[in-house]
Structure 1
Amino acid sequence: MKKLSLLLMALFLFLVTGCSMEPPSWAKPDTGGDLKNMKIGLSVSTLNNPFFVSMKEGVVAEAKKHGIETIVVDAQNDSAKQSNDVDDLMQKGVNVLLINPTDSAAISTVVQSANELGIPVITLDRSADSGNVEALVASDNAKGGRMAAEYIEKLLGKGTKVVELEGVAGASATRERGKGFHELADTDLKVVAKQTADFDRTKGLNVMENLLQANPDVQAVFAHNDEMALGAIEAIRSSGKDIPVIGFDGNEDALKSIAEGKLTATVAQQPELIGQLAVQAAYDVLQGKKVEKSIPAPLKLVTKNENE
């Protein structure tokens, strides 16, 4: 019903503008530089993950600096809900959309709807598979995956038997982190099993319990995010084993776990910076300026004894 409403709204705008393809006035970038009345719509994949909470805080704080209002919606890791949420944001008259996709393919339809209405789209952390996106603001996920494989090899040597906990199947971050990891792991390590745990801590625990039973000789774990890594640690500790676990994100719980000697390492992102850079890009787009299609945020490997 919401998609139908959006379609009807687009048709109405098409008719009242004399069959012109011009976007509505609220969707046009303000080239005069006065953005005080502008609104950013931010759709986050889930606010049940500390990483995305930090990213949201970066967006809201940076937008406030520019006097721009932010409307935040939480998709709760549901791609259908996210599509409906973004439809709602467009109907509320946001001037730019910042989207952290739950599923990179599923979000493409609403990205294309925004394109038709002339509303600029910027994606954060994960890309959209199709539709015109002004910029993707993200860490180099493939590089981060390779960093994890390099650290496991450095720690335990070539041929180490590794279990891989994958993220949400449709997310670009899952594909890219896995791709980077396997660039080295497929030649220098031995990936004995891999299974999705949807970037979720509880699922990470449950999946790891099953993988430990099926692969009792596993020597290391690479998880596509810290939440799954922290769940995996609980499963490992309950089994009485001592297996190094490398996560990805660098969230507060992960850094605390590293300091306590539980989590071995994490490929740390800077979620607040990702949010800030996304707003800066949005600010430029709304003023009619060109922005880079890919805006990277630096990564670093964090361990207990050193920041590598």
Structure 2
Amino acid sequence: MRHQLKSTIVAATLAFSCAAAGAADDKIKIGVANLFYGAPYFAGMDVAVHEEAEVYENIEVISTDAGFDAAKMASDIDDLIAKGVDGLIISAGPTETIPSALLAIEEAGVPVVFVDRLWQNTNLSTPWNWVGAENDVMGRVIGEHMEKHLGGKGHVLVIKGGPADNSIGIARTEAFTEALNSSPDMKITVAPGFGGWAVDGGYKVMSDMLAQHADIDGVFCENDSMCLGAQKAAQDADRSGEMVFGASDAGKDTLREMMREGSNFIATAVNDSDEIGRVGFHHLIGMLAGAELPNITPLYSGLVLKDEAVKRYDPSKVF
């Protein structure tokens, strides 16, 4: 069961952690293990951690990039522990677990914050915390909005990121389709291929599906990048006017597209990698200072429409 932190507890924890970090005489060394730094979403979390740490002269952050290699990530975590880090931040999407890494963390006894992706079977005795978006909430609010926008009828295509056991994608799609299933006149088709969470992948899957279906009214993708690619595929096929698009993440490229006059990208949902990184940093420092946190910290994951896209758009963000 998830435990939502009250805003007052969050504020107190962050204030406590910052004071403790600023007052400490000893150097605090933090390791950030990234499965894949190459995507802006994941890079945004890492950059946010470094920017927060820059405020404190006694905090050093060491980041690694496994280049999407789970074995390399396990090795990176071993190396960070060997370097004597006081705590770890792990950005491991889309892996579901790396047992050897969990064992190494357990044996080292260092506190750890998982950002974005919580590994399965995370039964650690060392202090741990997860910070990320509520994927089911994102899927549900987009589904409810698309169902309303289409008037409760129409054919909606779903493009998944993959692989088949990806828990984040599963949560988003299941919640989205459940929201649409309340209307008997909604038809849902799940594309057989995976878009790989990327613009090019979304473009390819959408191109294949456009060739097979002449009646697509709406498109839901498990993340924004795939939907930007799918949107471009529909435009290139001269079918943009037939459909609308919705996805999760609210990245700056999507917000900019939603702000464009006449855009058919009608909805996204908040999955702020910058916020995740900053909160994850402060939660780790809090644990190092002795603060007790619940293991699960879901962040706001609400619906973003055009009006709020204008307010949220920040071109200076990495993602």
TM-score bin (small chain): 0.7 to 0.9
Which residue in 2 is equivalent to 1:177? Answer: 172
Which residue in 2 is equivalent to 1:101? Answer: 92
Task: Give the direction of change, closer, same or farther, for the CA distance of 1:66–1:179 in structure 2 (3 Å limit).
Answer: farther
Secondary structure in 2 aligned to 1:264?
strand
CA-CA distance at 1:306 after TM superposition: 5.0
Does the aligned pair in 2 maintain the 1:162–1:191 contact within 8 Å?
yes
Distance across 1 between alignment mates of 2:25 and 2:160: 41
Distance across 2 between alignment mates of 1:83 and 1:286: 23
Task: Give the direction of change, closer, same or farther, for the CA distance of 1:115–1:78 in structure 2 (3 Å limit).
Answer: same
CA-CA distance at 1:265 after TM superposition: 2.2
Secondary structure in 1 aligned to 2:131?
strand
Which residue in 2 is equivalent to 1:52? Answer: 42
Which residue in 2 is equivalent to 1:250? Answer: 250
Which residue in 1 is equivalent to 2:286? Answer: 284
Q: 1:273 aligns with which of 264, 275, 279?
A: 275
What does the per-residue CA deviation read over 1:186-221, in whole Å, with 9 as the maximum and x for residues that have no partner? 343322123421211111111111122222212111
Q: Does residue 137 of structure 2 align to residue 140 of structure 1? A: no
Distance across 2 between alignment mates of 1:77 and 1:200: 14
Task: Give the direction of change, closer, same or farther, for the CA distance of 1:190–1:87 in structure 2 (3 Å limit).
Answer: farther
Q: Does residue 67 of structure 2 align to residue 65 of structure 1? A: no
Distance across 1 between alignment mates of 2:248 and 2:38: 16
Task: Give the direction of change, closer, same or farther, for the CA distance of 1:215–1:298 in structure 2 (3 Å limit).
Answer: same
CA-CA distance at 1:65 after TM superposition: 2.6
Which residue in 2 is equivalent to 1:16? Answer: none
Does the aligned pair in 2 maintain the 1:150–1:184 contact within 8 Å?
yes
Which residue in 2 is equivalent to 1:119? Answer: 110
Task: Give the direction of change, closer, same or farther, for the CA distance of 1:86–1:201 in structure 2 (3 Å limit).
Answer: farther
Which residue in 1 is equivalent to 2:13? Answer: none
Residue identity in the other structure for 1:291: L
Secondary structure in 2 aligned to 1:59?
helix
Distance across 1 between alignment mates of 2:134 and 2:111: 23
Does the aligned pair in 2 maintain the 1:200–1:227 contact within 8 Å?
yes
CA-CA distance at 1:35 after TM superposition: 6.8
| 1:1-308 equivalence runs, <5 A | 34=24, 36-67=26-57, 68-131=59-122, 132=124, 134-169=128-163, 170-188=165-183, 189-194=186-191, 195-242=193-240, 243-260=243-260, 261-306=263-308
Does the aligned pair in 1 maintain the 2:93–2:116 contact within 8 Å?
no
Q: TM-score, normalised by structure 1?
A: 0.82
Residue identity in the other structure for 2:181: D
Residue identity in the other structure for 1:253: D
CA-CA distance at 1:222 after TM superposition: 0.8
Task: Give the direction of change, closer, same or farther, for the CA distance of 1:283–1:219 in structure 2 (3 Å limit).
Answer: same
Q: Percent sequence identity over matched residues? A: 28
Does the aligned pair in 2 maintain the 1:50–1:251 contact within 8 Å?
no
CA-CA distance at 1:36 after TM superposition: 4.5
What does the per-residue CA deviation read over 1:56-80, in whole Å, with 9 as the maximum and x for residues that have no partner? 2221122223442111122333333
CA-CA distance at 1:271 after TM superposition: 1.7
Does the aligned pair in 1 maintain the 2:42–2:273 contact within 8 Å?
yes
| Greater shift in the superposed pair: 192-201 or 77-86 | 77-86
Distance across 1 between alignment mates of 2:174 and 2:189: 16
Secondary structure in 1 aligned to 2:139?
helix
Secondary structure in 1 aligned to 2:248?
strand
Secondary structure in 2 aligned to 1:206?
helix
Distance across 1 between alignment mates of 2:103 and 2:174: 27
Does the aligned pair in 2 maintain the 1:79–1:102 contact within 8 Å?
no
Task: Give the direction of change, closer, same or farther, for the CA distance of 1:306–1:92 in structure 2 (3 Å limit).
Answer: closer
Residue identity in the other structure for 1:259: M
Distance across 2 between alignment mates of 1:97 and 1:36: 17
Q: Which runs of 5+ in 1 are unaligned?
A: 1-29
What does the per-residue CA deviation read over 1:2-61, in whole Å, with 9 as the maximum and x for residues that have no partner? xxxxxxxxxxxxxxxxxxxxxxxxxxxx99x73741211112343332222222222112
Distance across 2 between alignment mates of 1:124 and 1:58: 12
Q: Which runs of 5+ in 2 are unaligned?
A: 1-19, 312-319
Task: Give the direction of change, closer, same or farther, for the CA distance of 1:185–1:292 in structure 2 (3 Å limit).
Answer: same
